[in-house]
């Protein structure tokens, strides 16, 4: 502490106090504006990044879900065509329908393989392995035998094809359930990320408020000291204590 002589109007000490207060007011306003702008830019950047990632993830999940549903449709068309062959072994249209259903199923399966990950990919590979090794072989045998021995083809259809079809339907059903669950989980995750962004923004606002409070407090202290000094001057004191560093 050092003592600054003052005249009746406060002299150099009062001018120095006023200069310090003005500079701190400018500093406070600048800091608050900077923090507010930084918070806004950060919030915009985070929200934009989250929305972009979540939109891409959701589109990916929807494409996978659509592909699996197309696989399921292709399987149903294939089953109907095989049954049609047994009802009319000489029908060329039913055999063409089998070819179209197989092409649709193969196309949807390839798309699903490109999109599937994790549990969905495991279920898809399980279904593909059973389809290639068991079900498709039975389908070709039934169609082939129906051309020369229709009763034998019908017997194979009932005893072997239908049980294999039930396993295939169950497998594609499990795959569809996994994909639907992952899509729903992705939507829930999007909501959770949005809450995280809100929490971060609240924290930033609290930090800004705390910083502003500290800066305002640093201005209020010299103001209070200045009022005390002025009161002492009015009471006849010609010297006052001036805090070093203020």
Q: Do the Cβ atoms of 176 and 69 come closer than 8 Å? A: yes
In 136-161, where does DSSP find H-type helix? 136-146, 150-156
In this predicted model, what pLDDT tens digit does every residue of 78-106 receive, in sequence order? 989 898 888 887 777 888 888 899 999 99
Q: Is the confidence at residue 16, as pLDDT, over 70? A: no
Look at residue 246 in the predicted model and tell me its pLDDT.
Answer: 46
pTM, full prediction: 0.56
For residue range 208-231, what is the model confidence (pLDDT) as tens digits? 666 666 666 666 666 666 677 667
Among 128-142, 164-178, 190-204, 228-242, the least confident range: 190-204
Confidence of residue 176 (pLDDT cuts 50, 70, 90): confident
228: which residues sit within 8 A by CB, 6+ positions away? none
User: What's the pLDDT at 107?
Assistant: 92
Given this model, what pLDDT does residue 161 score?
92
CA atoms within 13 A on the CB side of 68: 25
Whether 234 has a pLDDT exceeding 50, the answer reads yes
Q: How far is CA 109 from CA 33, 112, 131, in A?
A: 56, 5, 11
Helices and strands counted in the chain (H then E): 6, 2
3-state secondary structure of 2: strand
Quick: pLDDT tens for 45-55.
666 665 666 66
User: What pLDDT shows up at residue 39?
Assistant: 65
Q: For 122-138, b where at least 16 C-beta lie within 10 A, e where not — what string?
A: ebbeebbebbeeebbeb
Highest mean pLDDT, choosing among 17-21, 30-34, 179-183, 214-218? 179-183
């Amino acid at each position: 502490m050092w003592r600054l002589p003052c005249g009746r109007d406060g002299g150099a000490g009062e001018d120095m106090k006023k200069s310090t207060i003005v500079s701190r007011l400018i500093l406070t306003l600048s800091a608050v504006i900077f923090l507010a702008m930084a918070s806004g830019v950060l919030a915009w950047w985070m929200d934009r990044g989250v929305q972009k990632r979540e939109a891409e993830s959701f589109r990916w999940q929807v494409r996978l879900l659509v592909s699996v549903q197309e696989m399921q449709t292709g399987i149903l068309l294939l089953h109907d065509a095989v049954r049609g062959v047994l009802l009319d072994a000489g029908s060329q249209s039913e055999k063409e329908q089998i070819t179209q259903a197989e092409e649709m199923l193969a196309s949807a399966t390839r798309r699903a393989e490109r999109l599937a990950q994790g549990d969905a990919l495991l279920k898809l590979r399980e279904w593909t392995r059973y389809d290639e090794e068991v079900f498709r072989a039975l389908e070709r045998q039934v169609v082939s035998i129906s051309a020369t021995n229709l009763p034998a083809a019908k017997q194979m259809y009932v005893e072997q094809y239908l049980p294999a079809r039930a396993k295939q339907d169950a497998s594609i059903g499990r795959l569809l359930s996994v994909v639907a669950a992952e899509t729903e989980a992705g939507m829930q995750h999007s909501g959770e990320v949005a809450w995280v962004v809100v929490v971060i923004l609240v924290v930033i606002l609290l930090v800004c408020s705390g910083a502003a409070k500290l800066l305002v407090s640093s201005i209020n202290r010299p103001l209070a000291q200045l009022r005390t000094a002025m009161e002492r001057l009015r009471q006849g004191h010609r010297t006052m204590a001036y805090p070093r560093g203020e």
